[in-house]
Amino acid sequence: MQLLLALLALAAAGHWASSADLHWCYDIQKIHDSSCLAPEQWEWNCQKKRQSPIDIKTSEAKVNSDLSPFSFSGYDKKGKWSVTNNGHTVMVQLDGQAWIEDGGLDSKYQATQLHLHWSQEPGKGSEHSLDGTFKAMEMHIVHQKKRGTSRSRRALQDTQEDNIAVLAFLVEAGPQNDNFQPLVNALSAISKPKSNTTMAEEVSLFDLLPEKEKLKNYFRYLGSLTTPSCDETVVWTVFQEPIRLHSQQIFAFSEKLFYDDQKKVNMTNNFRPLQLLEGRVVYKSRAPEQLLPLALTTLLAPALTYLTVGSL
């Protein structure tokens, strides 16, 4: 069973962070290595029309009543996870015991790994943006679809458009986040690419996320992997509530990790530029709560006072 889980994790990692022979890179790496392919040069599936990331215009997202709260299984399980610098990001291999379902998903999905994107510049670093605004980082929890768990006839169709489900969390500066510190502490041991370590302390996925009650509000669209080969196989969930880390915790990723063995090029700005929506529809889990207009509130106040006094 452990071997099977390891193979699943490696398969997902292989999709998300493609092998070195593709020799793709981010713009900041292109400055130091002219032979690598920067984002505008990516080929494979990267030139298709259902690509990620995108800018989410929150007022234009359509409410979808099927986007119910997620059911999380194993997200509370703590573990000392394996952490790797894969040359493009820091990747945490999960143990295969965490799952998600519901949330408008057609099947059950197994968590295989999580990774992050970031910058050392304020207001820059996330891959997705909300109304044109970027955050300092973005964390992706990658899930693989479990065959045979579909609840609709779509499972009979020859399609892979929802083979992977990614939960995306924007990260902004805030107070010290002690739950994230075990991962931050592990960065010093994986400064060079292809190096790995194990967290010194146990952490659960729920430890890293906003409060569960705040995970009901999210956006949904169909897209792609954000690294080559940019396969259009991802159902994206971008949560409205951000994760908050202290600025020093955020900067640690750019300061302690490197793209190269010589430790000359800091690992930062590892995000893909925004892609065109190309006619796709972005959905949201529910309409934002509407406040009563001020004038109506003023009119209702005396009536509410009268009713309250009358009931005494």
Catalytic positions, please? Answer: 88
Name the residue among 185, 169, 162, 144 with its Cα closest to residue 6.
144
Question: Which runs of consecutive H residues, i.e. helices, occur in 201-293?
Answer: 205-208, 247-256
Contact 277, 212 (CB under 8 A): no
Q: Which residues pair with 168 in a beta bridge?
A: 140, 238
CB atoms inside a 10 Å sphere around CB 62? 10
Q: From CA 46, how far away is CA 50, in angstroms rounded?
A: 9
Q: From CA 238, how far away is CA 170, in angstroms rounded?
A: 8
230: left (phi over 0), alpha (psi -120 to 50) or beta: left
Q: From CA 161, how far away is CA 233, in angstroms rounded?
A: 4
